[in-house]
Structure 1
């Protein structure tokens, strides 16, 4: 749970983002205001009806109530829409005052474009806050020794959620090896049960929730980080092609329902809620949705585990891909009263009260606070305890260049449709090399 690493390799912004950001144009993002009131524009992805989104919107409302001198202009977007919007406003150098952002490459790119400002001085002023984050929690928000955000949660990205009643009905054991998984898939298909519900309409989904862990199972973490750095490893190496082969095996075994590239994550989970699928694979973020919205009979039968081991693989089978959670970026344009107000909101969302609210919403945190198991849903307790025994390995889209991430996401969709693993590996390699030049 505390094994976070960084490559030390910073990705640059896309050429357009760098050029436009350097021009220094853009508006004042709505900051300032009349009299003593400060106005802050806030962009987030807490738009759903899951417990986490509800809790975070509640924190925003409470902050507004507690700070009548600070007006929040809030815009909520679904995750995919938020990522797209952020890259658009970044290219125009018109960032909102505060916004949800991701660790790793996104943070590095925004720093490269001089779009966000460090928070280290404010963090240091509250040691009781800073010192309670888990080990290495700030690593992927740190660029050139400066910290740019504080994680609001912990985001392991790959778990198998499964319906024990369906497994029992067909005499299937929860798979611990790849061969056992393939056998389980065959049994479920023979009985007209979707083995693994999948919604990959947003093309990042398979990369983040399945392949980042599966790839590590096959190649090991050290190889992946070397390939990212282009330091003694290449994505055309046999072990990476073998990892792609393993993912394609799932598609060829009919692990997923027809049309999985045309439905989204919410529709995927609905197939599971309806009892039509034995499993779905998603991140820890799905827990808040399952706990709040699953039918009671489904919830009572749902358990959680990690991807099975892969024979001959170099990676640690007791691991899952993940990152520290999202943080709030603060526009580099803010200063004076606006900057002070933004730091206060950052603290409200990622400080002790925010972390406690997040944990109570059945969401893991990168913060050292105990879980009151008597008040938590049993399934979340199961996840919380599972995390004590496994380590975190890198998510591809937090380490690869933006260009290589997009090629990887598209390539995995192609792969699941029958594409050639070696050809896809070459595209990923070329994209990562190109970004480094």
Structure 2
């Protein structure tokens, strides 16, 4: 990304599905809250629903901004509720169905944004962006695409989310004479050797069922099918999820699971337990989004952190996808309730800007979290692992994430289907279920 304008990132922001986020980090920057616009004379009540609940640097930075906003805006009574990401997604859909959305809420680009706009739940923020062109124009190209519906921009990204980063313990690779895998054959060799030494090759916690899809399969499948085929299948124009390339991708994942690549109880572990296996030196690798770097640098023992590095999914011979790519998307943004007007809307946009504006973006970057904003990390202060990630993402392309591209119903089908795949399920049946679900969604 190195000044984002010059980076080689190609962002394919796709209009369907969901994503998930994690965070943690180091050295959080200082945030200077804006002063209340217009000197509101009466107390304004503002509600916010978010997922900044963890003890990671990103969440800590966002919560600090909320507290500083309260101090700087005594005329605003801010009531915020934080929920874990998976719970938040479900809660948002429930509140949307009941038309009881909070004033501001963390939401995802793609289908969630589109659905909420169609449901009359959101209002655009074009006026806020146009009134601050020096802020608007520093976002990376296409950053607003996933939040744009019929010309209206309904949010801005608060981070950048590559979803398939390979985290590995170099000390374990050196101890057992294993090469960090760059090809699929080398990955299979690494799995075999680590199993021989009773080291879990790849930690995995798929209890929430999105982890395999987002952090492993989105990139693995793209290596096999290529992005063009996938988008045709998403749009049901010229490709189907029962086509041979997709079947091959499912079989590749299933056979990989049979080699003992993952812990036997992977469907009972969550993503934090997955990372703990790695922290404890019981696993040599794990896949997770770039957001995990923030959690790692905040919580991993220093001696283990010193041996941790980042890479990407190995290349797959004969595949039609880009070898130097990872699945990814711009990150979450804040939705503004369509009902807000007057002093309430003014207060909401003040908070929107505090969290998503230049200072909020800097706080995000300083918490070892990538941004979709043109910012450079301070290399004298940033954690070395985050700098590795930052430089890595500047050298690869971003390919589609399944749960940001597919319909909500199809996302649920692929998430549960991949659990079955790794348990030995019929790949043809699972592919047909995905095909039928996506075709039905596209016909509506």
TM-score by length of 2: 0.92
Aligned to 2:393: 387
Given the alignment of the two structures, is residue 213 of structure 1 paired with residue 225 of structure 2, yes or no? no
1:106/1:297 CA distance change after superposition, 3 Å: same
Which runs of 5 or more structure 2 residues have no equivalent in the other structure? 1-7, 18-39
Aligned to 1:30: none
Paired residues of 2:9 and 2:394 also in contact (CA < 8 A) = no
Paired residues of 2:204 and 2:271 also in contact (CA < 8 A) = yes
1:6 shift after superposition: 4.4
2:196 to 173, 190, 193: 190
Distance 2:16 2:381 in 1: 42
Given the alignment of the two structures, is residue 160 of structure 1 paired with residue 160 of structure 2, yes or no? no
1:201 shift after superposition: 0.3
Aligned to 1:31: none
Paired residues of 1:2 and 1:136 also in contact (CA < 8 A) = no
Distance 2:226 2:348 in 1: 40
1:2 shift after superposition: 3.5
Aligned to 2:24: none
Distance 1:210 1:41 in 2: 36
Deviation string 1:203-249 (CA, Å, 9 cap, x unpaired) is: 11111111111111111111111110001010011001111111112
Which runs of 5 or more structure 1 residues have no equivalent in the other structure? 12-33
Distance 2:418 2:410 in 1: 12
Distance 1:421 1:168 in 2: 36
Given the alignment of the two structures, is residue 281 of structure 1 paired with residue 293 of structure 2, yes or no? no
Aligned to 1:117: 123
Aligned to 1:374: 380
Aligned to 1:149: 155
Given the alignment of the two structures, is residue 93 of structure 1 paired with residue 96 of structure 2, yes or no? no
2:10 to 3, 8, 18: 3
| Aligned-residue RMSD, C-alpha | 1.2
1:168 shift after superposition: 0.5
Paired residues of 1:4 and 1:139 also in contact (CA < 8 A) = no
1:10/1:202 CA distance change after superposition, 3 Å: closer
> Per the alignment, in what secondary structure is the counterpart of residue 122 of structure 1?
helix
Aligned to 2:33: none
Given the alignment of the two structures, is residue 256 of structure 1 paired with residue 262 of structure 2, yes or no? yes
Distance 1:269 1:280 in 2: 7
1:55/1:6 CA distance change after superposition, 3 Å: closer
Distance 2:297 2:225 in 1: 34
1:105 shift after superposition: 1.1
Deviation string 1:50-109 (CA, Å, 9 cap, x unpaired) is: 111111111111111111111111100000010010011011010111011011111111
2:411 to 388, 396, 405: 405
1:354 shift after superposition: 0.3
> Per the alignment, in what secondary structure is the counterpart of residue 362 of structure 1?
coil
Distance 1:35 1:378 in 2: 48
2:78 to 63, 72, 78: 72
Distance 2:90 2:337 in 1: 17
Deviation string 1:177-219 (CA, Å, 9 cap, x unpaired) is: 1111011001000000000000000011111111111111111
Show structure 1 runs of 4+ deviating over 6 A.
none
Paired residues of 2:65 and 2:355 also in contact (CA < 8 A) = yes
> Per the alignment, in what secondary structure is the counterpart of residue 321 of structure 1?
strand
What are the equivalent positions in structure 2 for 1:411-426 lying under 5 Å apart? 411-426=417-432
Considering Cα pairs closer than 8 Å and 6+ residues apart, tell me whether 1 or 2 has the greater RCO.
2
